[in-house]
């Protein structure tokens, strides 16, 4: 459609066993008005059940995956092949934690991190095994967290 900036590749509607709902849209931004940029895949999700979504990317639309963090239980759920089935889950974090993902080690694969505003501590899991690989204190309870390639 004229004015669209994304080409929608797929929409997946999920229903959790606890009654929650999620809609996952797989989109691809356009290079120009006519053709999609296949190297810049974007996954967005709207979670109705109160969980938060985390897009995990290894560099291209063919290898993008999704993860969901459920603050009420502290559990992470990962779907590696976008079929609506959990491929991996573990407990890491909890209520009040803020989440972020990034390529913390420069390997081309994303890991996860939680920021705990009540203590100012960060906890990093580089390889999605649910074990803290690094932690340190940086920031405060009202700070907004962001990730980027700063240097």
CB-CB neighbours of 97 under 10 Å: 19
pLDDT tens, N- to C-terminus, the chain (151 residues): 444 455 555 566 665 555 566 665 555 554 444 444 444 444 444 444 445 555 544 344 445 788 999 999 999 999 988 888 999 999 999 999 999 999 888 888 889 999 999 999 999 999 999 999 999 999 988 888 888 888 8
Contact indicator for 52, 73 with CB cutoff of 8 Å? no
Q: Please tell me the number of Cα atoms within 13 Å of 129 on its side-chain side.
A: 6
pTM for this predicted structure: 0.59
């Amino acid at each position: 459609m004229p004015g669209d900036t994304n080409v929608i590749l797929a929409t997946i509607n999920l229903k959790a066993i606890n009654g929650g709902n999620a809609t996952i849209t797989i989109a691809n931004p356009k290079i120009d008005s006519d053709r999609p940029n296949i190297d810049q895949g974007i996954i967005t999700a709207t979670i109705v059940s109160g969980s938060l979504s985390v897009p995990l990317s290894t560099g291209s639309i063919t290898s993008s995956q999704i993860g969901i963090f459920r603050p009420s239980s502290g559990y992470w759920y990962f779907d590696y092949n976008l079929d609506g089935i959990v491929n991996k889950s573990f407990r890491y974090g909890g209520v009040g934690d803020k989440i972020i993902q990034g390529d913390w080690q420069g390997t081309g694969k994303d890991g996860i991190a939680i920021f705990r505003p009540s203590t100012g501590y960060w906890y990093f899991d580089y390889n999605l095994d649910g074990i803290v690989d690094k932690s340190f204190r940086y920031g405060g309870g009202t700070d907004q967290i962001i990730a980027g390639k700063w240097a």
